[in-house]
Structure 1
Amino acid sequence: MIEKNWLAGEFEANREHLSAVAYRMLGSRAEADDAVQEAWLRLGRSDAGTIDNIGGWLTTVVARICLDMLRSRKTRREEPFDLPIHEHIADASRTVDPEGQVAFADSVGVALLVILERLAPAERIAFVLHDMFDLPFDDIAPIIHRSSAATRQLASRARRRVQGKTDVPEADATRKKQVINAFLAASRLGDIKALLSILDPQVVFTPDAAAMQYNPSVRELRGADAVAETFKGRAQAAQPAVIDGKFGFVVAVNGQLRVVLFLTFNGEKIAGIDAVADAEFLGSLKYELF
């Protein structure tokens, strides 16, 4: 009973912060409340004695819950309840918490909420946790199953989009598919020249810990030359796919998903390749080959 009361007190001390984190990620007061409530339930099922920092643990859990909710929303193509979806004008009839809405508008703003909704789930998590709540990239990376370097890149790209600084127009879906198929063909044929023509000069290849364990020769790479050399003659089993709304490749062995490679584009060039082999993460993915 004493431990339960202590956990309840710690949770209440962090509730306002957790609600703010969830609201900025989801843009919906109702969904944010659901995320915070789910975090409380998970705290109750956990071994509190093994948690060194309750606040940090709860923030991480809320972020992961929000990431799952964002991915689910993208899959169903749903709009968050509280976001204005018509000409950026809020519907006053849907304002259930005027005081909270005003405070949130002061700190974030309706326009920013609309922009955040356009970010990919991992971009949104990285940007919100780092830029709005000053969480280190090393702490954010495990939440979205990326390296710290890749997480920093995601946040940077999200920041540019939020600030309207998209220097190079991103390729459309059709063109991305063409680039991906060209990359796979060049990789399988070992055509270095073709690979270099597809890769951004500053491209970064980032494997997660599971990918490096799966293949000890895999490591983080920077620059088109290094990445092209690594992919030369490879990708034989890779298949192009849209994974949770993001373009990339999937590698399956005997029907079992083993590795996913998410691609980041700079214009029509591949600027980032994130290899993820974490089994728990792969089990939650939905993808469609093209």
Structure 2
Amino acid sequence: MTSRIVTAIAVIAAAAITATACAGYPAPESPPPSATAAIPTPPGATSQTGVEPAPDSDDCDALVSLRPGTLPPPRKMPARSTMADIFARGRLIVGLDIGSNLFSFRDTITGDIKGFDVELARAIARAIFNDPNQIEFRVLTSGERIAALQAGYVDVVVKTMSITCDRRQDVAFSAPYYVATQRILAQRNAGIEDADDLAGKRVCAARGVTSIGRLQSIVPSARITTTSTWADCLVMLQQGQIDAVSTDDAILAGLAEQDPWVEVVGPSLGEENYAVGIAKGHNDLVRFVNGVIEDLRTSGQWQRMYDRWLSILGPGYPPVPRYRD
């Protein structure tokens, strides 16, 4: 028998064995591929267990601020004044955030920080330096604003900061530059139309804001989740981790601009008066900033700022200040 014939017989035998094995031992069925993943929670998001007091700005006449004097010409700040110290440093240091769309946010194309609050901050810098760009922005969360002023980490805070009597014990405020109303942000067709619909629901707010206490006083059964930024609240709403967000309408409108599937609903739950935060003991800077705000109001620049950034909220007008000497 030749080697070629032996090889052929071996191949045939091997094929027969393979066929018998396949017939006797079929391969087990394989389940279809699958994958699961937990929805990530934004860093710093926590469930709030304590109850905060409702805002109390009416109790101490908190909206009254120091009367502005005549603004000095730019670059000619009064000697030994807070403004002279800022001028000598060469820049105004402003605390704000970059997650409050419409008020202060980073433009994803240019990288610039823009918004209504940013224009106000630049107006203060212009009044000191005759240059709105001699400014340094330091990003703060809502809960960091007061400590940053007290530590001298920033000169002013321009960050949708509401005036309250409690806060006035720790920092000084300019006259109000904007009046907001607290409302609710929810998914469209979620069945949430007003505060009554938030009973037992999960509601998000940024840590350190006055809207938490007001909502708890209106809807005690609401389950509050706090986050570091308003953008985190929007992410949690989109992922179904909360049912609603509640804060000032201007902030909510900025969130709604980023997602067509959410909407601002319900009547006003209360007013919030935004002002520039300033460290105590710097009354000259309070009067100076009030002069800048007064100039913006009387020159029509405030209205132009509103029309550029906040016209989505409908007609708006600058608040009328109340001063004391």
What's the TM-score bracket when you normalise by the shorter of the two chains?
under 0.3
TM-score with structure 1 length normalisation? Answer: 0.23
Q: Which has the higher contact order (CA 8 A, sep 6+)?
A: 2
Length-normalised TM-score, structure 2:
0.21
Which of the pair is proportionally richer in helix? Answer: 1
